[in-house]
Amino acid sequence: MKHRLLSAAAILLVGCGVVLAVGQLEQAAAPIAQLPALLPEGALLSIEARDFSSLLKDWNTSPEKRTWLLSDNYAEFSNSRLFSRLSQAKDEFSAAAGLPTDASLLEKVAGKESCLGLYDIGNLEFVYVTRLDQQDIENTPLWQTRSKFEQRTEAGTAFYVHKDAQSSRIAAFASKDGWLILGTRDDLVAGVLDQLAGTASHSLSNEGWYAEVVHDAQGERGDLRMVLDLDKIVRTPYFRSYWAQNNITEMKQYTAAVSDLYRSGQSYREERMLLRRPGVSSAAQGDIRALASLAPADATFYEAQASPNTEDLLKSLRDNLLELKPAQSQATATSAPSAAVANNAGSASQLDVFIDQAPASAPRSDVFQSLRTLLAAQQPDAVLEVYSSRSPQKDITSGSGVFVTLQTAMVVSAPQVWDEAAVRSALTVALPTNLTAGKIGTNWVKHSGASGEYLALDGALPLYAAVNGKQLFLANDTPLLQHLLASRSGAAPAGTSEGVTYAAVFRPAREQSNFSTLMAQLDLAGHRGSGGQQAAARDGQSPAFFSGNVSSLDRAFFNTVASERIEERDMGAKVTQTVTYQW
């Protein structure tokens, strides 16, 4: 469930990154709606910009870019195989073009309304169409060196091609009626010239998948629009290798998607629409806005999901509440364990023992079966998960903070009333077997608070539960549980048709300090340094993964983001998502 919110940031960065990295877009004399009609058919994705030069300028002058280029994350990325392959492709394109394909060239060919079509991910084959004044076109390095290119003619217009003999990379470009066309294949540039001359019968815009997804997209196109042929993209090995969300199976249910980004002074808003493959049924139904309104206004992260899968719900319960060690646990040893001793290899008296048969072992019972059965019987229609962190508590002896603690709560809503006795029994059975001996610490004690009654374990594991009709409340923190119970009276009413089936909010700026502390603790647990952003490249070593690599990425892109919010509506044949980044 959490991958939706994470993918929101990822798609925003990937969308802008493809535009910036592959490097092309601009202004059109024809209406912007006609830009995809200039691209030959067969593109995996297209990206349009209302004003690419402004986007590029904002990125080049942004503190995020400066911070990221100095970060451990960028240092580590620059040593990656992906970066090496992109750099190699860039060098090959430079050899084909006969000049550096760098930021300077990109600035010279960046105008306003622009469109890029990507046709092959592995070979980075694309064509880029942009409107520039004729004088600006003639001032570009490509136009000034066109005599070094082979001249060809298509639809009565000359265009220029050069192929690098060593890499077989191609650089091609043309100019017609104020349009600048750049491509990595001569047939793509020729195809655009055919479209401008009106001699081509097919284009990207009248392909079936493209026309359908754009037709279903609501509202005016954004400052940046990306349209994807997911049916083709998901099948490529590059998508399987480099897609950060690692949810290939889920993405296979969609055939196409469109995403519009709208920018304002204090927020970015992304409107997405994904088309489902015919025959694939809707995964979620209902409206979770009433349940989501229970979340505290200052929660670091929360998400509400309609129609949760039973196994996914059980996994969340196990990971967040049932399989955690007691917060009060202390180290049981002050010195390193002794070296392992080799097991006895056997003796002559054991010659008659069969070694090709596994030793008999008593079958293990599934301690979560009772809880699984309870969840399956209740058939939950929605679940809310809330996460917050607490600053390190001061240690009495040293006076310093040690651990960042995580507060987690879940509210599971079902169409029928929960049985408190059945809940108590199922949770008791599901508690870790190494938590107690003789069932000590697994008894439930009822408490009364300002927000109502709740149950608490009498042992070291912080686990609290409350049953409120059709809602089951679970938490590892008493104040968080009581806040959720108190919010019941002010919950928003449920919607009717086309309700929100998924909602999540993340407030990164609120957690900067605790996040950095937690990342350093994770590196220390793995016996790594915690030098932070400047930890990179000491003695040729990689930076600490959490406190260096991950933390520096967080500082670069989320240091000023007050909140990131996503709402999803599952309407069967299509899914819409609204993602808002608030500064």
pLDDT above 70 covers a percentage of the chain that reads 79
Helices (H), 396-436: 420-430
Strand residue runs (E) in 209-365: 224-228, 254-263, 267-276, 301-306
Instruction: Indicate the pLDDT class of residue 328, thresholds 50, 70 and 90.
Output: very low
For 281, how many CA atoms within 13 A lie in the half-sphere containing its CB? 4
Helices (H), 293-393: 310-317, 369-378
pLDDT digits (tens, 9 = 90+) for 35-44: 899 999 999 9
- Whether 390 and 405 have beta carbons less than 8 Å apart is answered as yes
| More confident of the two residues 583 and 9 | 583
Task: List the end-to-end C-alpha distance of the chain, in Å, as a whole number.
Answer: 24
Instruction: Indicate the pLDDT class of residue 424, thresholds 50, 70 and 90.
Output: very high
Buried b (16+ CB within 10 A) or exposed e, 555-568: bbbbeebeebbbbb
Task: Round the average pLDDT of the chain to a whole number and report it.
Answer: 82
Is the pLDDT at 561 greater than 80? The verdict is: yes
Write down the pLDDT at residue 433. 60
- Whether 155 and 135 have beta carbons less than 8 Å apart is answered as no
Write down the pLDDT at residue 363. 58
Is the pLDDT at 174 greater than 50? The verdict is: yes
Span of 143-157, 285-299, 517-531 with lowest mean pLDDT? 517-531
Q: Which 3 state secondary structure label does DSSP give 376? A: helix
pTM of the model: 0.81
Span of 282-286, 341-345, 387-391 with lowest mean pLDDT? 341-345
Write down the pLDDT at residue 163. 95
Q: Provide mean pLDDT across the span 519-526.
A: 72
Write down the pLDDT at residue 42. 95
| More confident of the two residues 434 and 167 | 167
pLDDT above 90 covers a percentage of the chain that reads 53
pLDDT digits (tens, 9 = 90+) for 564-575: 999 999 998 999
pLDDT digits (tens, 9 = 90+) for 461-487: 889 999 999 999 999 999 999 999 998
pLDDT digits (tens, 9 = 90+) for 106-163: 999 998 889 999 999 989 999 999 989 999 999 999 999 999 999 999 999 999 999 9
Is the pLDDT at 315 greater than 80? The verdict is: yes
Instruction: Indicate the pLDDT class of residue 349, thresholds 50, 70 and 90.
Output: low
Q: Provide mean pLDDT across the span 196-210.
A: 92
Is the pLDDT at 527 greater than 50? The verdict is: yes
